[in-house]
């Protein structure tokens, strides 16, 4: 298929692009490089540097790519930043995303695959979380992704745009070539691994008074190769709807730090900090729907295996991507 990938220079997008190309698809990456890296784009893909805020460009490039499917990864995705700068999230994730949706309808795209998030749920009434739980986000990031989900539903009903929206839990790990490099790193695993690489003196724990067994937040970490596998399955004609992607196992911040220490063989000193605004205490997926309906089978369900691939990438690329 011809696949148009927004955000293909970013962490999850770059690895999905690699998988798409390995599976024999033709890929056009559209990315403004505000967060992504040019060298994270597989050289077999066609690359266009521009922003989704430029509606005319999106439509023109999409048309030229003859895309049958769109994968939409481009977004701002930091809970903490969204609590300080909500406008950035609504502008980039919702308003600019709408340009892409309109272009997809105009160009007759057959399948739209959307990167959504468990942050659309807010603090859940129960865990593991199924897709039918109420969505009550507690940060603008989650709200902006929920708004896009709702737009997708209306575009499907009114324009017949077939979509799959994946609600990722915590993406982690690396492929052999591509990994996680944010210019300002806020995520837990890469920050802890930076300590193991002697690039930072200590790791920080944001909040030790949550209602969890060790007082720190619990998340469900999912390997990016497993996320990529779900995206390949989502391309199949007839697939449609919302799917959680996680392993169903929750790990606390302290447990993640312990796993990083074990994998790296380095001791990681920690400093306890206050809670980070916008963080729900516990997010754990029930992803049976994706397994049942898409035939999705995660290959790296164990946290230690996930961290092992991340550690290998960070050791090989201690400064991340060169650009």
The site for ligand UDP (CB under 6 A) is made up of 79, 170, 186-188, 191, 204-206, 217, 219, 253, 276, 279
Nearer to ligand UDP, 28 or 309 (CB): 309
Nearer to ligand UDP, 41 or 256 (CB): 256
Cβ-in-10-Å burial (0-12, 13-18, 19+) of 42 comes to buried
Q: Which residue has the tokens 């709200």?
A: 143
Q: Which residue has the tokens 């944001």?
A: 206
Nearer to ligand UDP, 109 or 253 (CB): 253
Q: Residue 267 is encoded by which pair of tokens?
A: 């001791």
Nearer to ligand UDP, 8 or 142 (CB): 142
Closest separation in Å from C-beta 207 to ligand UDP: 6
Q: Is 141 a catalytic residue?
A: yes
Nearer to ligand UDP, 59 or 187 (CB): 187
Closest separation in Å from C-beta 78 to ligand UDP: 7
Rg (CA), the chain: 19
Nearer to ligand UDP, 206 or 242 (CB): 206
Closest separation in Å from C-beta 24 to ligand UDP: 32
Q: Judge contact between 189 and 310, C-beta under 8 A.
A: yes
Q: Residue 48 is encoded by which pair of tokens?
A: 């266009």
Strands 251-252 and 170-172 turn out to be unpaired
What's the CA gap between 30 and 49, in Å, rounded? 6
Exposure letters 263-293 (e unless 16+ CB within 10 A, then b)? bbeeebebeeeeeeebbbbbbbbbbebbeee
Q: List, edge to edge, every strand of the sheet that includes 241-245.
A: 46-49, 26-31, 2-6, 69-72, 111-117, 162-168, 241-245
Closest separation in Å from C-beta 206 to ligand UDP: 4
Catalytic pick among 89, 141, 155, 300: 141
Strands 203-206 and 270-273 turn out to be parallel
Closest separation in Å from C-beta 50 to ligand UDP: 27
Closest separation in Å from C-beta 253 to ligand UDP: 4
What's the CA gap between 67 and 6, in Å, rounded? 12
- Give residue number: closest CB to ligand UDP: 217
Helices 303-316 and 188-196, axial angle in degrees (round to 10): 60
Nearest partner of 265 among 303, 314, 311, 296, judged by Cα: 311
Q: Which residue has the tokens 């990456």?
A: 29
Active site residues: 141
């Amino acid at each position: 298929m011809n696949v148009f990938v927004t955000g293909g220079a970013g962490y999850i997008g770059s690895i999905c692009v690699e998988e798409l190309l390995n599976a024999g698809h033709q890929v056009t990456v559209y990315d403004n490089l505000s967060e992504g890296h040019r060298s994270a784009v597989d050289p077999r893909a066609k690359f266009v540097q521009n922003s989704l805020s430029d509606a005319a460009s999106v439509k023109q490039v999409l048309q030229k790519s003859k895309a049958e499917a769109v994968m939409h990864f481009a977004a701002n995705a930091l809970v903490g930043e969204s609590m300080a700068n909500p406008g950035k999230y609504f502008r980039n994730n919702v308003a600019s995303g709408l340009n892409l949706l309109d272009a997809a309808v105009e160009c007759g795209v057959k399948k739209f695959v959307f990167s959504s998030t468990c942050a659309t749920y807010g603090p859940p009434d129960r865990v593991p979380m199924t897709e039918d739980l109420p969505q009550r986000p507690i940060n603008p990031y989650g709200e902006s992704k929920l708004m896009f989900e709702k737009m997708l539903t209306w575009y499907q009903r009114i324009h017949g745009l077939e979509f799959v929206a994946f609600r990722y839990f915590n993406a982690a790990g690396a492929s052999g070539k591509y990994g996680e490099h944010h210019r300002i790193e806020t995520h837990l695993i890469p920050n802890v691994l930076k300590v193991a690489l002697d690039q930072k003196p200590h790791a920080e724990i944001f909040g030790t008074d949550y209602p969890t067994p060790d007082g720190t937040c619990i998340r469900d970490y999912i390997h990016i190769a497993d996320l990529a596998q779900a995206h390949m399955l989502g391309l199949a004609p007839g697939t449609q709807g919302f799917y959680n992607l996680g392993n169903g196992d929750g790990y606390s911040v302290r447990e993640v730090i312990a796993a990083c220490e074990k994998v790296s063989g380095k001791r990681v000193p920690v400093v306890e900090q206050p809670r980070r605004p916008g963080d729900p205490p516990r997010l754990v997926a029930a992803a049976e729907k994706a397994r049942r309906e898409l035939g999705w089978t995660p290959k790296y369900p164990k946290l230690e295996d996930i961290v092992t691939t991340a550690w290998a990438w960070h050791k090989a690329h201690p400064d991340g991507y060169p650009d």
